[in-house]
Each structure stands twice: as C-alpha cells, then as structure tokens.
Amino acid sequence: MLFALIAIMSLGLVDSYFISFLGTDQLAAIGFIMPITFIVTSVALGLGMAISSLTSKLIGAERMGLAARLITDGFYLTTITALLVTLVFTLALERVFLLIGADQSTLPYIYDYMQIWLFGTVLLMITQVCSSTFRALGDTKTSAVIAISMTLINLILDPLLIFGLGPFPELGMQGAALATVIAVTVASLIGLYQLAIKERLLLSSLPSLEGFKDNFKQLIDIAIPAVLANAIVPITSAMLTTLVARFGTDTVAGFGVGSRIEAVSLMIVYAMSSTLPMFIGQNLGAGKPARITAALKLSFKFIIILQLAIYAIPVSFSDLIAALFSADVVVQETIILFLLIVPISYGLSGVVILVNVSMNVLGKPRIALYINLLRFTVLYFPLAYFGSYAFGIRGLFVGVAIANCLACCLALILLKRVLREVHVVD
C-alpha cells in the first residue's frame, strides 16, 4: 500500500510540476482546483470505507456470498453518487471557484482543466472503491497495481498532452486534465476486471428489493458520516485557500505546492489508514479483540516517531524543494515557510487520521465525523484565521500546526471511550 500511495500522491505533484512550466497563473489555478478534486476524492473514499468496513467483517466471519452481494450493491451506489457529484459541480463551476477566491487571471485555466476532468469523475470514484475493496480482501497487491498503473499513465501522458510533444497536440491545462481522465479510465477497467472475472465478487444478478434496501441502509449508515468527515478536510482546505488568497496569487501557488507536498509527506500514514481498518474489521469478525488494541498502540507510536524523522527532510532541503517548483520569489518563500512550520505536527495529525478510519470499522462513523468537525471548525480554521490576521502567512501556518496537536488529544480520548463501548477493552 505504501508503493500504491506513493503513486497516488505523486499524481498531484506530477501535474503541479509540469503545469509550473506553463506559468504562475496556471500553477495558482491548480492550487484552487485541488480542494475541489479533494472533495470528490473524499466522497469516493467515504463510499469505499463503507463497503470495505462491512466487507472485511463478513470476510472475517467467512460469509463470502453476502460479501459479494454487498460489494455489488456498493458499486451501484457509487455510480449514482458520482453522477450526482458531476452534475452539481458542472452546474456550479464558476460560482464555486469564485467563492474560494479565484480571479479573472486564473478562472480561464480552471475552466480548461475542470471541464475535461469532470468527465472522469465516475471512473475516478469507481477506481477508489475498487482499491478499497481489494484491501478489505487482504489483496493489497491488486490495489497497488491499480494505483501505480494510473500514475504511470498520467506521468507519460502529461508532458505529451500539455506541451504537444511529438505527434500530440499542445493542450496546456486541458492536456493535464485529459491525461488524468485517460489514466483513471484504464485503472478502473483493471479494477473492475479483477473484481468481476478473477474474484467473482461483482454479481450479474440484480438484487432483491429487500436485500438491496438492507445493504443500502448499512452502506449509507457508514458512508454518509464517512463522506462528511472526509469532505470536511478539503472544504477546510478551500477555506484556507480563501485566507491565503488575501496575500496574492503567488502565495496561493506556493500554498498549493505545500499542500501537495503535505500529501506526499503523510503517505505512510495514508498507507496505514488503508490497511489498519481492514485488519480491525477482520479481527472483529473473527472475535480477536487483543489483536486490535495491539495494532492501534503500535501504529500510533510508529507514526509519531516516523513523522518526526521525516521532518528533517523539509528542514534540510526547503530551499531546494521550493526552487524546484517555481522561480518566483514569493512562491518560494511561501513554500519554505510551509515546510518549516506545518510538518512538525504531522505525526499527531497522522494519529487523528488513524483514529478516524478506525472509528468507521468499529461501527462509530459519527464519532469520526464529530472529531473532524471539532478539529476543523473549532481548532483548525479559527487558529489559522486569527494567526493569519495577527502574523500574516506565517501565523496561518503556526495556527494549523497547533490545531493538529490539540486534535490528537481529542481523538485519543474519544477512541478510548469507543473501545470500551464495543468491548474491545475492559
């Protein structure tokens, strides 16, 4: 899963890197686009979490027939949801980006990218759900193949379609979006083939009305809180982008690059968040609570120590990293400030992420939602807001780091209470 997530996180960085050659306005456009693409991804991750959480318990209890029906019904729900998301963003495209601070210098590039990218929304969400399903089966290899295939195709096509190399047309921002759509199309076909033909877990028979209603209710009970919990993150990112926009387009460009680097810095956390819930689910189904508590404690210690060690990289190479993405002085200064301040709190942020995904499979998705709501509405955005007005962009980044620390304390308190409620600990 680490290799798979390196590939997924690199997808955004690859786009940012090649688009940076087009100009600062284009790079800033990607900064505005990123929170919106994160919202779509969050919806897919929430649905994938619902499907995989329920599936992992059924697999632990060795009920494969019910697992196949649940997975199939989950894909019906994913397709319907993806079509609705596409429709909403298509109709409200300009309004959404004006709301988060885009201006006339970046809007044309945003339109170029999003009008093509939205065509791939359904397949993007199906790809995410396929990956989650394979992790529930314990087959992280196939999940990795899907992700790596998507990134490699995007890496190859990006320069060809953006700059018009060889026989390919020069499409600029549209080329970057088209490369992504082609990549997710191939990845989704790989996932669907493996599930339907190899694993025989996508059923051709239609569900009974009662059976579908039952599975639909189970999925929705987890999916809605999980989607909302996941969606809070990019929504807050969009709100932060609005705060950053007060300091100018160059600062937005730098913040966008910093946010991409943050996703890569946390890739081991995300790898564990992709597998830890499935481990918990299978052991819940098999009735082995001691393994659950041991895995949680070990995971938290490992993530905190690891992220502190990783922090040495941005501290040592912040100038070089900034220069890699832009020659603009303001963009570089923003990237450097971000890298020196925010990553020191990534270990504690990682613990919050692991607690949230564990809540879903423990049958308490609303607790994960409450944690994220409190984290971002009471801690994250207010501290960033007051920090930005008192101390500028530096204060905003310090506010984010402090919020991550406080959120970790809250998440651990609530996790201990939930473990008692579900009788995992005495």
Distances (CA, A) of 320 to 224, 280, 289, 341, 366: 42, 41, 47, 16, 42
148 CB-near residues (< 8 Å, 6+ apart): 3, 4, 7
347's tokens: 């270990």
- Residue 425: per-residue pLDDT: 67
To 5 degrees, how large is the angle CA 37–CA 101–CA 332?
80
Query: CA 118 to CA 125: how far, in whole Å?
Result: 11
Q: What is the pLDDT of residue 389?
A: 87
pLDDT 10s digits, 111-126: 999 999 999 999 999 9
**Structure letter (DSSP) for residue 426:** -
Using pLDDT thresholds of 50, 70 and 90, give the confidence band for residue 190.
very high
- Give tens-digit pLDDT for 322-342: 888 877 888 888 888 888 888
Q: Give the CA dihedral 278, 281, 285, 290, nearest 10 degrees.
A: 100
What's the start-to-end Cα distance of the chain, in Å?
A: 32
Candidate ranges 164-173, 213-222, 407-416; pick with highest mean pLDDT:
407-416
The Cα–Cα gap between 348 and 356 comes to 13
Residue 329, CB-side half-sphere exposure with 13 Å CA sphere:
0
pLDDT at 153: 93
Structure tokens at 125: 């969400």
- 212 versus 51: which is more confidently predicted? 51
Q: Looking at residues 225-247, what average pLDDT do you find? A: 78
Side-chain half-sphere of 285: how many Cα atoms within 13 Å?
Answer: 22
CA separation for the pair 421, 426 (Å, rounded): 9
CB-side exposure of 96: number of CA atoms within 13 Å? Answer: 18
| pLDDT tops 80 at residue 106 | yes
C-alpha distances (whole Å) from 94 to each of 30, 33, 175, 180 are 15, 12, 20, 21
State which of 67-71, 372-376, 408-412 shows the largest mean pLDDT: 408-412
Rounded Cα distance, 11 and 7, in Å: 6
The pLDDT assigned to 426 comes to 59
350, 304 in Cβ contact below 8 A?
A: yes
- On the CB side of 243, how many CA atoms lie within 13 Å of its CA? 27
* 363-385: average pLDDT: 87
Q: Is the pLDDT of residue 377 over 90?
A: no
Average pLDDT, the chain: 86
Is 90 exceeded by the pLDDT of residue 12? no
CA 240, chain centre distance (Å): 17
Contact 292, 330 (CB under 8 A): no
Eight-state DSSP code of residue 194 = I
Q: What is the CA radius of gyration of the chain?
A: 21
pTM of the model: 0.72
User: CB neighbours of 54 closer than 8 A, spacing ≥ 6?
Assistant: 70, 218, 219, 222
Q: Are 357 and 368 in contact (CB under 8 A)?
A: yes
pLDDT at 236 over 80: no
Percentage of the chain modeled with pLDDT above 90? 24
